[in-house]
Chains A and B, each alone.
Chain A
């Protein structure tokens, strides 16, 4: 018993050291990333961060709370368009448009979440699908305000550019946007992680797994479901607002139904109900095509992408992170078995 405790605590310490080293390496990598690549690649990294924010929100809703949304592209779009409109037509500062975009997405998320009190599963997916198809149509319909398919382009001072002190330090506009998005994404990641690990998170998972026991444990299921929808939409909205600033504008075709699907795919291939999964998935949906051989890019890319998705789901139903965890557990088991004789001796 006591020797067992000893090895367990030793293993805990080792795991903690691993974790700290891992986080440090990751922090340095995320900091260095924009300094090592050209402008267009850095812009792509920032796109990853924007998608990762939306996927983080979607994962909170679908992964941890069990409510499927095929409409997160619309919440992303609400954030993107409120930022573009407020900054270009009202002259708001960038940070304020991001905040308002988040609030708007939150409110619309709450409203869309209301039917979720009565319907679930496939039916809820259909409602959100309707939202995903409705949103771009509304943008095109009111093109006198939204610019329709032409979109809105930010000019001059409307753009989120590197401020003087950062430029003095040699940070370009695209790098500055990357760092802004990185800080927002990291804060959001930490918040979501803390929430999921708390009393609230246990309630979310209980609702996902089994609603009736959740109710009789004293959880107000309705409030949780609707609020989760709102918060999830809010994260997508923040991602969308940052997306607008990263691209100096937005147009109807970037917030169409394909975006909703891409976000869902990002969550699933990264690993549903994991913390890092959405970010990994977001990276893959943005960069996967550039790993393809030259003749498979462009029109052929969605086909290859689809095939890869099917293969991945067959090989790793838990997504990439699920696969990594599984292999890690196997490895750890082998190591601990190798450890055993030395402990006995």
Chain B
């Protein structure tokens, strides 16, 4: 069986600044994979490379065996990869419901409203605020909206860029619980880049450790949790 996503020897960056120094990893269907890394390790750049937002990138990115490097972001979305960007990227002037409709931008079927109602039931706060501008909501609510919006495109894989960023610990915990539920009920694979290693490794099946643009460790979540260096650097005990 071919991997859902396979990145081989990614090299890239911004102009003269090289951020990714040849990293390879994969995500299997239905799997939650986390990429741990400190600030500046290249986590966001990696996700940008996967969804076509990085102009300057070499190597190979395959989605279900098909090479996608060089495709535009909107083409990659249509192949079933949704991206929740860092800082959430909710469209603050549009209402919650309009944001969800935007999530279904690439869809042509008639079940959009039904799916919106579904995500309202998963995230009741969004349902209560459906007519409010997204910008009027709290950070946690906007993160839930960004996730629900990404799922509106019915992706096979969701890329999540530091979902815990700027959220209170309790809100983050709640968010990761929901992500786990969504993965179990819908089977949507997730690639999460995170600094919050504790929570991320609880959610993930597998993980990688990224340091200055290179993968330095990888394994199952439990392996990483017991790994001496990972524990010291990312788990803080």
Contacts and interface: CB of A to CB of B under 8 A. Distances in A.
A215 interface: yes
Interface string B43-66: 000000001110000000000000
B105 interface: yes
A212 interface: yes
Interface string B64-84: 000000001110011000110
B74 A206 contact: no
Contact of B74 (A202, A205, A212, A215): A215
Interface string A198-230: 010011011011101111111111000000000
A216 B91 contact: no
B73 A202 contact: no
A221 to B, nearest CB: 8
A203 B73 CA distance: 14
B102 A203 contact: yes
A215 B53 contact: yes
B93 interface: yes
A220 B72 contact: yes
A209 B85 contact: no
Interface of B: 51-53, 72-74, 77-78, 82-83, 85, 89-94, 98, 101-103, 105-106, 146, 149, 153
A218 B153 contact: yes
Contacts of A206: 91, 94, 102
A216 B53 contact: yes
Q: Which 7 pairs from chain A and chain B are nearest by CB?
A: A213-B89, A218-B77, A218-B106, A216-B83, A215-B73, A218-B74, A209-B91
A60 to B, nearest CB: 15
A88 to B, nearest CB: 46
A216 B82 contact: yes
B93 A217 contact: no
Nearest to A203: B105
Given A206-B91, A212-B89, A217 B102 contact: yes
Contacts of B98: 202
Nearest to B135: A209
A114 B91 CA distance: 25
A219 B89 contact: no
Given A202-B98, A206-B102, 10 more contacts: A210-B89, A213-B91, A214-B91, A215-B73, A216-B51, A216-B73, A216-B77, A216-B82, A217-B106, A217-B153
